[in-house]
Structure 1
Amino acid sequence: MNPLQQYIDDLESPEASTREAAAHAIHDLGDAARDAAPALFAAILRESDACPWVGTALTRVGPLAPDLDALESALQSDNSHVRFWAARTSVKLGPDAEPLIPILISLLCDPELPVRDSVVWALGVTGDPAIAQLINAARGNDVELRGRAVLALGRYPHNAATKLPVIIESLDDNDAEVRRLAALAICSLGQSAHVDSVTYDDNTFSMLLDAINRLADDDTIEVDAEWFGRIRDWFRPSA
């Protein structure tokens, strides 16, 4: 029997250790194991516990656009480990993950931090369509989602000119947690300007500087004093 086929068959084993060993072997085959992607999706959808090698193998050999339906199902799994690996796998799709954006945005409120972080990563690499939908969520009626969407908007500096106005707008949200997350988003964009040498256009830089100065004077918005202090010092010479 073809070794790959044996590994694929082993993914259906009732023993978790056998499934994980097979997934490990598939992972090591890399691109040569692309034909195993459907079996890996089927395996991860059956999982009720942790599945580190099934998930890792899936992120390596998949996904492709035809896998979107399976990936959507995995993102909605009751198993947080499966949701995590599905979000990590979505990252590999880049802009092709656009059909998954509504589900990914809903998962910004996932109770598990690793899932939320992977979702933000996936949304970041999806690009402009994700930004537009995140902005809509940041202005929506769901308080928790508003805050999480604002935080996601500030995670990456790309297209800051589009994202920053809604983040600043959220500093006036009637919910204190949304205001706090908006402050974190501003700090994140400020850090990007320093650490990653991101060059903002003059208007964006001015908006960011005004927001930082506002946070320095507004004691109604909670900020991380140490982090904010470092960022304000970076911008102080430009003030």
Structure 2
Amino acid sequence: MKQLQQYIDDLESLDASTRAAAADAIRDLGESARSAAPALFAALLRESDACPAVGTALTHIGPLSPDLDALKSGLQSDNSHVRFWAARTSVKLGSDAEPLVPVLISLLCDPESPVRDSVVWALGVVGVPAIAPLIDAARGDDAELRGRAVLSLGRYPGDAAMKLPVIIESLDDPDADVRRLAALAICSLGQSAHPDRSVYDDDTFSMLLDSIDRIADDDTVKLDAEWFGRIRGWLRPIA
């Protein structure tokens, strides 16, 4: 496609507006322009500042599985904007992003919250293959990473039977912030049971409810009282 090749060539322009226009045009072509993914990655890695047009195009058309090395480079970039868009693009790979799990987990402690949020999202779509590495991180030596891993485990209700035991275990962590994040993770899973508890099997729901009651009896865990009370109120009537 001659037009697409011109857009790809324009991604190397020295003029920022030309690069942005080319990325926008590629985005508008949708999945028919997926062959442009390597050029978009190269453009992303070349950008020295924010790169919303290139990043948006990448997340729109989706990466190709061979782009894993480029994604890893993006995730490890010194540029927080590049890390953000690389994480957002990893989401599009779904379970094919499994090889990126170690570097994604390391970014749970990224100083930029948009990067952290996108990394949690990406780990969530990887699914089961990300759970064991997250559990290992939740039991590791780094308190900050333990807390972030626990919070990530509680973000999505899928496979809660595998995740909930280590989250509950983290309520006894020696670090107060890890204990707080474990309580937040449990509340997040509890929120997912409203209005339909069928997202969890009976044993998992019972374990979740017990952990909610435990948090309610623990004065050392500081959560927003209104939010916590609302979640507990949702769960008790459907128990």
Question: CA offset at residue 28 of structure 1?
Answer: 0.3
Of residues 201-210 and 157-166 in structure 1, the stretch that sits farther from structure 2 once superposed is 201-210
Residues 39 and 113 of structure 1: CA distance in aligned 2, closer, same or farther (over 3 Å): same
Q: How does 1:163-202 map to 2 (within 5 A)?
A: 163-195=163-195, 198-202=198-202
Structure 1 partner of 2:104 = 104
CA distance in 2 between partners of 1:238 and 1:213 (Å):
14
Structure 1 partner of 2:72 = 72
Q: How does 1:149-168 map to 2 (within 5 A)?
A: 149-168=149-168
Structure 2 partner of 1:205 = 205
Tell me, what secondary structure is at the counterpart of 1:140?
coil
Structure 1 partner of 2:25 = 25
Of residues 180-189 and 58-67 in structure 1, the stretch that sits farther from structure 2 once superposed is 58-67
Would the aligned equivalents of 1:157 and 1:198 in 2 still touch at CA under 8 Å? no
CA distance in 1 between partners of 2:192 and 2:69 (Å):
35
Tell me, what secondary structure is at the counterpart of 1:125?
helix
Structure 2 partner of 1:145 = 145
Letter in 2 for 1:76: Q
Tell me, what secondary structure is at the counterpart of 2:63?
coil
Would the aligned equivalents of 2:197 and 2:205 in 1 still touch at CA under 8 Å? no
Question: CA offset at residue 196 of structure 1?
Answer: 6.0
Question: CA offset at residue 238 of structure 1?
Answer: 4.9
Of residues 9-18 and 103-112 in structure 1, the stretch that sits farther from structure 2 once superposed is 9-18
Would the aligned equivalents of 1:171 and 1:183 in 2 still touch at CA under 8 Å? yes
Would the aligned equivalents of 2:155 and 2:188 in 1 still touch at CA under 8 Å? yes
Would the aligned equivalents of 1:151 and 1:181 in 2 still touch at CA under 8 Å? yes
Question: CA offset at residue 34 of structure 1?
Answer: 1.7
Residues 196 and 7 of structure 1: CA distance in aligned 2, closer, same or farther (over 3 Å): farther
Q: How does 1:111-130 map to 2 (within 5 A)?
A: 111-130=111-130
Structure 2 partner of 1:54 = 54
Would the aligned equivalents of 2:74 and 2:86 in 1 still touch at CA under 8 Å? yes
Would the aligned equivalents of 1:192 and 1:198 in 2 still touch at CA under 8 Å? no
CA distance in 2 between partners of 1:95 and 1:106 (Å):
18
Is 1:5 the counterpart of 2:13? The answer is no
**What RMSD over aligned residues (CA atoms) do the two structures have, in Å?**
1.3
Over the matched positions of the two proteins, sequence identity in percent amounts to 80
CA distance in 2 between partners of 1:198 and 1:50 (Å):
42
Would the aligned equivalents of 2:135 and 2:149 in 1 still touch at CA under 8 Å? yes
The unaligned stretches of length 5 or more in structure 2 are none
Letter in 2 for 1:40: L
CA deviations 1:4-55 (Å, max 9, x no partner) are 1111111011222111111000000112212211110100011111111100
Letter in 2 for 1:89: T
CA distance in 2 between partners of 1:170 and 1:222 (Å):
15
The unaligned stretches of length 5 or more in structure 1 are none
CA deviations 1:194-217 (Å, max 9, x no partner) are 146543111111111111111111
Letter in 1 for 2:209: L
Would the aligned equivalents of 1:134 and 1:150 in 2 still touch at CA under 8 Å? yes
CA distance in 2 between partners of 1:5 and 1:197 (Å):
51
Tell me, what secondary structure is at the counterpart of 2:206?
helix
Residues 128 and 78 of structure 1: CA distance in aligned 2, closer, same or farther (over 3 Å): same
Residues 152 and 25 of structure 1: CA distance in aligned 2, closer, same or farther (over 3 Å): same
Residues 193 and 83 of structure 1: CA distance in aligned 2, closer, same or farther (over 3 Å): same
CA distance in 1 between partners of 2:225 and 2:96 (Å):
39
